[in-house]
Structure 1
């Protein structure tokens, strides 16, 4: 082969043709529109007036006269406000408790020579492969007196096997020299965990913590089984009033013109249930991305 022969590069390394660039731009714009438009419709409908909702057939893309009437009514009724506090409390307490239990157990199982480590790991993995059924879980929760108790939607889900395995693998990837150096300085296991392991595992902890927070925040199925309606979290209230079509506001004591449309009330509850996670996620995004990439390249 001649030295002057031009090397053949793969197609993806070549400069795209103008037609290809235009097609990619159009495809990207369509995808972005498909993602953004539903969110915009939800927010706009929650802020629209009754006349706009009626004129547009129940959904509004851009309100000309935005109002917070729907939000005032859902929080004035007390149901959504109480459910929001329940969801926030369950999410905060559940996430902290789950992180505490998962981190400590993952650290113990990641250390070689721990007494009973392998049997405990096998038991944990067994629960992942063969999860308990709904009826045995209900009988257990009812038998230990957790029925209609907020612990019923926290305690049975305290440790996620997937999150435990992720943290265990991350702790095992920390060089053994760091553990040995800490022990030479007289540090015990708790000191090593707090001063060595946790500072090096911020990305993994952020990912696992976000997984736990989202799962607790979005939990609705077991709350409908274990909790009475006056103790429901926000997601169960959202499902009941949006999908079930129950009334969010009592219009019997008010002028009908001053009561927001059902679609507006439903979308206001949906926005209330979605915004907290959207607020928290940007602060954890850089850790989330780093944790995912780190987990992908570590063996």
Structure 2
């Protein structure tokens, strides 16, 4: 660059000398005196400038190579970072897609669960209503069954009482017939017998009267026990042998007792 500048200056000076060649000889001599040291200086400076140019070019090339190498390293780093970032972005994108799908599945599952919950709540409401209706019907049925059981129990108690009373009446009446028949036969014999026979018959009448009372008491006890076993305690407490039967039997025996006492 310095040589080019010097050359350009030399060219300009040469052109100027040529343009003023027509001037006087004194001017040419002055120029020759001035140009001699300049030429010597140029001969010394030009190699130095060329050396400096070479150094500058070498330094420029070295700096350029270093810059290019640094640029290449930075480019490689940036490329590697970009690749890593792109890989990370791909991973994140895949994860985002997966999470999005999972979210959609969760939303669908939640909607299905909410629908199931609503359906179950509706069914539970219907079942509660059915249960309440069934409980009310059960209460009605239990009341009907209780009333029917009470009616059945009362009817059974009435029938059992009727049967037991009928049995007691039959047994007392049968015993009365047998005893009266026997007493009639013995009374007929007394008409022809002595006082000892009449006393024996009177004693037998007293014994039979006592046994009749014991038989009635035993019948009452047995009937009460049967009613208690059937769960009819109130009926057992109220049950008694018919007063008419008791009166008839006792009256018959008393009349016979008076009759035999009169004979004695």
Q: TM-score, normalised by structure 1?
A: 0.27
Specify the structure having the higher radius of gyration (Cα): 2
Q: TM-score, normalised by structure 2?
A: 0.29
Q: Comparing both structures, which one devotes a greater share of its residues to helix?
A: 2
Identify which of structures 1 and 2 has the higher relative contact order when contacts are C-alpha pairs closer than 8 Å and 6+ apart.
1
